[in-house]
Copies of this chain bind each other. A is one copy, B any other.
Amino acid sequence: MGVRGVLLIGGEEVVGSQAGVYAVNPATGAELETAFTGAGDGEVSRACTLAAAAFDAYRETSQSVRAAFLRTIGEGIVALGDELIERAMAESGLPRPRLEGERGRTVGQLEMFADIVERGAFLGAVIDTAQPERKPLPRPDLRLRRIAVGPVAVFGASNFPLAFSVAGGDTASALAAGCPVVVKAHPAHPGTSELVGRAIQDAVKKCGLPAGVFALLGGAGNAVGEAMVRHPAIKAVGFTGSRAGGLALMHIAAARPEPIPVYAEMSSVNPVFLMEHALADDAALLAKGFVDSLVLGVGQFCTNPGLAIGVEGDGFSRFAAAAAEEVAGRGAGTMLSPAIHAAYTRGVERLASCDQVTTLARVEEVSGSKGAPALFAIAAADLLAKPELGEEIFGPSSLLVRCNTAEQMQQVAEQMEGQLTATLLAADADAEALRPLLQILERKVGRIVYNGYPTGVEVAWAMVHGGPFPATTDSRTTSVGGGAIERFLRPVSYQNLPPGLLPEVLQDGNPLKAPRVVDRTAE
């Protein structure tokens, strides 16, 4: 099929009006051949306006049509075959098995949302029937359903070129909710984006949906994305990326004449708490598991464990020594882009040169684009005094925090910003010590992992990939798992609407067989 460097708008391939980007192979630093054109204001406006025009028809498509559409996208992605995998490898430096796995995850997400759409619980139907005899006033008939919020702007993430990019979790959940989607392609993988975008565009056609349901825009710099978020047709934003990027979009959205929600998943250091008895039992084994998680994917996961916290003592020392040895034995890996590599190197240098920080292990960099694992240590008192030393360094670097007491470990937890995850490495005998810590962590994080590692985010209904700020801009939401659809729905109540005008899901007899709550009882 080949990539052509185009935008996808209104069911067509469009040559952008702006100079765009070249993809760069991060392993070699070489530009790949196709020049990708960028969107100007006219193209942004056209894509958003078409999305608005498609909205009413798309949001009222039947559950079966929408589910079939999501599955057709998945089939289209699979049908792209090896061309997609090879392009993604070239653009991201990620290895084949990882990208094949990520493709499976992407298709699986689309399938999960198709299933959720078919089940209908997401429609949130609630009915309070009339009580004409009630005194002093009769109660009207009230029927509530949820409808899609409107066109959504989605920003592809660099670290998941398939599962959190053009047809990733944000797009899949927004389309499932009934929202047209306008995607801003991540400039690090424009070819991968175009291929997947074309699969979605084809699915729109195959399923007979309005062309405005999907558009793919690209371009260098921030102008395209900012124009998307400012466009009055856009009613919500999905973003995964840096804290600075997410905050910038949030402030643009809040300053609009009509403010809109921005669901930004941004920054997390994913602390690992090393409990006394677990360290006593298994320090070396835990250290190996920890380092496996740390260096997985060259540390480029949102849930990468950037902090490990324990009380000093024999077990902690053995953990530190074993982790240092493990890190020293791991190789450097190609990072997603030269910019990410440069930021990682700066972050590691900053820690290494800090008086309060001890370098436990640092792998030598073999080439200019490879991220080399690193492990540092700091006393808890120093981290409490300088919390900025615990900030996220995106890549395979972690900081061990040495506490004097269990209370100090709680203090470190209490001072933490919001996180996607917290991990507890614990033995049965640690249970009582965990209770106060758990209470703190529940306030701070979206997911608590017990005797596992934070990387590896299961796509499930009970997943929370979210958390208090700055992990996300909206702690009530998740961007992975079934709950992600909630972000793109809002309730509408119908009072005494006659049967012929009621949405099908609210009609007497429940013709859609959707889960409903009628007079406070689940139906």
Contacts and interface: CB of A to CB of B under 8 A. Distances in A.
Contact of A149 (B450, B475, B482): B475
A140 B452 contact: yes
Contacts of A446: 491-493
A462 interface: yes
Interface in A112-141: 115, 119, 126-128, 136-137, 139-140
A383 interface: no
SS class, residues of chain A in contact with chain B: mixed
Contacts of A127: 462
A258 B464 contact: no
A142 interface: yes
Nearest to A60: B439
A96 interface: no
A100 B101 CA distance: 64
A493 to B, nearest CB: 4
A468 interface: yes
Interface stretch (A10-18, A79-87, A497-505): A497-505
Contacts of A474: 261
B449 A517 contact: no
Nearest to A473: B259
A214 B33 CA distance: 64
B501 A452 contact: no
Q: For the complex formed by this chain, how many copies does it contain in all?
A: 2
A458 B250 contact: no
Interface string A494-523: 111110110000000000000101001010
Interface string A137-168: 10110111001011000000000000000000
Contacts of A491: 446, 464, 466, 476, 478, 483
A137 B456 contact: yes
Interface string A452-475: 100010101111101011100111
A442 interface: yes
B442 A147 contact: yes
A470 B256 CA distance: 12
A346 interface: no
A447 B493 contact: yes
A252 to B, nearest CB: 11
A450 B497 contact: yes
A490 B515 CA distance: 22
A458 B142 contact: yes
A299 to B, nearest CB: 19
A438 B503 CA distance: 10
A386 interface: no
A126 B515 contact: no
Given A149-B475, A501-B435, A517-B461, A449 B490 contact: no
7 contacts: A55-B443, A126-B462, A254-B254, A434-B501, A446-B492, A447-B493, A464-B492
Sort A-B residue pairs by CB-CB distance and give the 7 closest, nearest first. A464-B493, A142-B462, A144-B462, A128-B460, A128-B462, A447-B493, A126-B462
Given A442-B492, A447-B494, A464-B491, 16 more contacts: A115-B520, A126-B483, A128-B463, A144-B464, A149-B475, A258-B470, A431-B498, A446-B493, A448-B494, A450-B494, A458-B495, A462-B493, A464-B492, A464-B493, A466-B490, A466-B491
